[in-house]
């Protein structure tokens, strides 16, 4: 049977480990938040770029696109 000192030592080590894991978890949560914000920003930029490309495509003359399809 373990002595009280062994149990105290083990509890102290568990508390230290818990603190380490808590700090690690906090850092990971911050990274997730930063990456989520970056992803959302990139999605927004992509949507804006798609809109600009679509607007440019709409401005192309129809004859040009028809002649390209027929190979002329």
Q: DSSP E strands: which ranges in the chain?
A: none
Q: How far apart are CA 69 and CA 39, in angstroms?
A: 37
Confidence label for 65 from pLDDT (cuts 50, 70 and 90): low
> What is this structure's pTM?
0.66
- What pLDDT is attached to residue 47? 98
Question: pLDDT tens, 2-44?
Answer: 899 999 999 999 999 999 999 999 999 999 999 999 999 999 9
Region class of 71: left (phi > 0), else alpha (psi between -120 and 50), else beta: left
Q: How far apart are CA 12 and CA 18, in angstroms?
A: 10
- What pLDDT is attached to residue 62? 83
Q: How far apart are CA 45 and CA 28, in angstroms?
A: 26
- What pLDDT is attached to residue 50? 98
φ/ψ of 60, rounded to 5, equals: -65, 140
- What pLDDT is attached to residue 2? 83
């Amino acid at each position: 049977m373990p002595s009280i000192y062994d149990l105290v030592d083990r509890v102290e080590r568990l508390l230290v480990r818990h603190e380490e894991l808590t700090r690690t978890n906090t850092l990971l949560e911050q990274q997730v938040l930063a990456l989520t914000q970056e992803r959302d920003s990139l999605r927004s930029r992509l949507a804006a770029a798609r809109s600009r490309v679509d607007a440019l495509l709409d401005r192309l003359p129809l004859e040009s696109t028809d002649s390209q399809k027929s190979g002329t």
